[in-house]
Amino acid sequence: MSDTSKDVSDIKQAAEQVDSQQIDNNLKNTSHSNTAEELSEEERTPFIEDELRTDK
């Protein structure tokens, strides 16, 4: 069984130690783009069969 009071104090401690300038720098320096990554044919497989879809 977990001790939720300890979890809360850990979160509070982490929040108090946050360096907002470092977070800002990390976000600016990421190499992630806002474009979707190309999927393989297997990954493009729909979860719902086309003939069962009602949204078309």
Please write the tens of the pLDDT for every residue from 6-20. 667 888 888 889 898
**Per-residue model confidence (pLDDT) at position 10:** 86
**Per-residue model confidence (pLDDT) at position 4:** 56
Q: Which of the residues in the chain have pLDDT under 70?
A: 1-7, 31-33
**Per-residue model confidence (pLDDT) at position 55:** 82
Distance, in Å, from the CA atom of 22 to the CA atom of 29, rounded to the nearest integer, reads 10
Q: Which amino acid is at 48?
A: I
